[in-house]
Amino acid sequence: MTAMAVIEESRTRASYPSLAGKRVLVTGGATGIGAGMVEAFAAQKARVAFIDIDQQAGETIASRFSPGGFHACDLRDLEALAATIGRIAAALGGIDILINNAANDDRHRIGEVTPAYWDERMATNLRHLFFAAQAVIPAMKAAGGGAIINFGSISWHLGLPDLVLYQTAKAAIEGMTRSMARDLGRDGIRVTTIVPGNVQTPRQEQWYTPEGENEIVAAQCLPGRIQPADVAALALFLASDDARMCTGHEYFVDAGWR
């Protein structure tokens, strides 16, 4: 058995008493890493609501991990987003933890980008994170604090091809995180970014052949593929009181991909 297999087999997940009963909102929780976080926070006995555009997948995840927790909404529609967050906050009595996870990494070439496509990509990958945060901040302040976790991406750190708008948005998210952390720290609101490496999700499987996956693993320091649960483990820590002095920075879970 390899050393990595031993680690995987003997692994037991941490539990965080401070997360029990916390009111959590995850965007993009119907599939991939988001679904992993819905599952992980529910296992901590948090009260989890999630937003997604994918009705069928959302209902499936809700029925498994968070009955009644799914709220269908297109995050590009800011009026619908505000109304949806208002309904969720009213139902839960507030929101303690916001996880800005949803994004879309469609490939594109510089020459093909129109102003309309630019706007649509920023609406999908950047704008809703700011407005979701803006919507939950008053209740977090009233409650004496909260945690906002934004999702970045290793892609722009590596400079991957055919992703210029996605990577532009993901770079901006790290700047937004630092700015918000400064503005909100005195209110007890911590703002962080999680930077995933290549995580084995159904959507990622569509981009990579087995040979491509092997190339990524070869470029990582650690062998093996990163799973949504590995990313959720970092989100649990950053959302918990154990991370009470963590804010304003980005935290990688990338198996050392360079």
Ligand X SMILES: NC(=O)c1ccc[n+]([C@@H]2O[C@H](COP(=O)([O-])OP(=O)(O)OC[C@H]3O[C@@H](n4cnc5c(N)ncnc54)[C@H](O)[C@@H]3O)[C@@H](O)[C@H]2O)c1
Which residues make up the interface to ligand X (CB under 6 A)? 28, 30-34, 52-54, 74-76, 101-105, 124, 151, 153-154, 196, 198-199, 201, 203-204
Residue 193 CB, nearest distance to ligand X (Å)?
10
Whichever of 15 and 55 has its CB closer to ligand X, that residue is: 55
85 close to 26: Cβ distance less than 8 angstroms: no
Q: Nearest distance from residue 100's CB to ligand X, in Å?
A: 8
Interacting residues of 30 by C-beta distance below 8 A, sequence separation 6+: 50, 52, 53, 54, 57, 58, 60, 61, 70
Q: Is 238 helix (H, G, I), strand (E, B) or coil?
A: helix
Side chain identity at residue 132, one-letter code: A
Structure tokens at 218: 């070869």
Q: How would you class 55 by CB atoms within 10 Å of its CB: exposed for 0-12, middle for 13-18, buried for 19 or more?
A: exposed
User: Which CB, 123 or 143, lies closer to ligand X?
Assistant: 123
**Nearer of residues 44 and 201 to ligand X, judged by Cβ:** 201
Q: Which amino acid is at 111?
A: G
**Spatial contact of 113 and 163, defined as CB atoms under 8 Å apart:** no
Q: Which two tokens stand for residue 172?
A: 């901006």
Is 208 noted as a catalytic residue in this protein?
Answer: no
Helices marked H in 112-208 — which ranges? 115-122, 128-143, 155-158, 164-184, 202-207
Nearer to ligand X (CB atom), residue 32 or residue 146: 32
- Both tokens assigned to 100: 């800005």
Smallest separation (angstroms) from ligand X to the CB of 218: 16
**Catalytic member of 117, 166, 208, 251:** 166
CA distance 75 to 41: 22
Please, what is the minimum distance in Å from the beta carbon of residue 129 to ligand X? 9
Q: Which is nearer to ligand X, 10 or 56 (CB)?
A: 56
Chain residue whose CB lies nearest ligand X: 32
CA distance 152 to 130: 13
- For the bound state, the minimum distance from the C-beta of residue 150 to ligand X, rounded and expressed in Å, comes to 8
Active-site amino acid positions: 166
